[in-house]
Structure 1
Amino acid sequence: MEDNSLEKKYNKYIVAVSIVIPVVVGILFGIKLKDFGIEVEPLSFLPPIYATTNGITAIVLIGAVMAIKKGNRKLHERLMTFAIALSLAFLVMYVAYHMTADSTKFGDLNHDGVLDKIEEAGIGSLRYLYFVILITHILLSIAIIPLVLVTYVRALAQKFDKHRKIAKITFPLWLYVAITGVIVYVMISPYYAN
């Protein structure tokens, strides 16, 4: 009965965090420090770092699954905790970058913020692929928050049957988010203004 109370205790926090994080990120994403008279150099060094963080997260997730399949529960737990920490670090860096830099348009080679006909022709249908990857990445990154938290709490509560059941959904989605984070960076990076 104690295990159920642990899950119930954390459920309200999971719901709150799952709502608060996307809302706060959405608000902060729209805020530019320069609009408040705070002159800060764009943190242009961050995108390759947070893209790398996504890549490392993907590797850590795969390592965590391999560890549990080999019966190494302690290593699995440590790797999953590390994956959560990496995801939080990504989020902080992502928001910090976007609060200090103007948005980058996919295909905007001359960095003027406008996609002219020549630039549009140059990227063609690749633009649609980019947006499909970006939109699925963003939507699943929101959906993954409660899934990760529920999966983690079920492990803490030692409800391993329920943990495994939801982990089969959480793992591939989280892995997709981590990998597509790298892909989005690779696709948009040629258009960053330096």
Structure 2
Amino acid sequence: MEDNTLEQKFSKFIIIVSIVIPVVVAILFGVKLKDFGYNVEPLSFLPAIYATTNGLTAIILVAAVIAIKNGKRKLHEQLMTSAIVLSVAFLVMYVAYHMTADSTKFGGEGAIRYLYFFLLITHIILSIAIIPLVMITYVRALAAKFDKHKKIAKITFPIWLYVAVTGVVVYLMISPYYVQ
């Protein structure tokens, strides 16, 4: 299979997934299982786990960049695949938590409140933008188009790292306000 064909083959898939994931997450974010008669306890243990997942993702992303800079392509590939798996796991846990629990209101005041909402809003917007970027970057690596892969990876990496790190920071900032 020619490299362009592989990219073309995945282009429609990338577009569809990049639209479907945010739409489905937004819909499921508003769905509460209790509203459908399910007596489900809030999965209140999940935020700490998915924040840890974000932290691990950030560490793995940095390790993957170090690996490729040291010529360890196979290790880089394994680390990047792990980062993708962790990001998917985060998403599943995030949706599961929000389907069983009411949203937590941030209780901070003053400048910290503005910082929190700035981080939260940029985190959400960039987490949507990172979906197609990660998939395009990954497909270009699969297609062995390493020049194009490297170009987009220079954009994908800092955005993905920002999303992973701000996920942890947002959790730490809101965690005192979770209802137990």
Q: TM-score range by the shorter chain?
A: over 0.9
TM-score (norm 1): 0.92
Aligned counterparts of 1:41 and 1:27: Cα–Cα separation in 2: 20
> Alignment partner of 1:123: what SS?
coil
1:16 corresponding residue in structure 2 = 16
Show CA shifts across 1:14-62 (max 9, x none): 0000000000000000000001111100000000000000000000000
1:3 corresponding residue in structure 2 = 3
Aligned counterparts of 1:64 and 1:13: Cα–Cα separation in 2: 25
1:71 corresponding residue in structure 2 = 71
Instruction: State how 1:1-194 maps to structure 2 within 5 Å.
Output: 2-107=2-107, 123-194=109-180
Show CA shifts across 1:60-85 (max 9, x none): 00000000000000000000000000
Aligned counterparts of 1:125 and 1:64: Cα–Cα separation in 2: 35
> Alignment partner of 1:41: what SS?
coil
Return the offset for 1:176: 0.1
Larger radius of gyration: 1
Higher alpha-carbon deviation: 26-35 or 122-131: 122-131
Counterpart amino acid of residue 131 in structure 2: I
Return the offset for 1:123: 2.0
> Alignment partner of 2:179: what SS?
coil
Aligned pair count reads 180
5+ residue gaps, structure 2, are: none
Aligned counterparts of 1:30 and 1:182: Cα–Cα separation in 2: 23
5+ residue gaps, structure 1, are: 108-121
Return the offset for 1:125: 2.1
> Alignment partner of 1:185: what SS?
helix
TM-score (norm 2): 0.99
The Cα RMSD (Å) is 0.8
Show CA shifts across 1:125-164 (max 9, x none): 2111100000000000000000000000000000000000
Aligned counterparts of 2:37 and 2:111: Cα–Cα separation in 1: 39
Aligned counterparts of 2:116 and 2:22: Cα–Cα separation in 1: 22
Counterpart amino acid of residue 44 in structure 2: S
Show CA shifts across 1:141-191 (max 9, x none): 000000000000000000000000000000000000000000000000000
Aligned counterparts of 2:136 and 2:110: Cα–Cα separation in 1: 41
After superposing on structure 2, the runs of 4+ consecutive aligned residues of structure 1 that deviate more than 4 Å are none
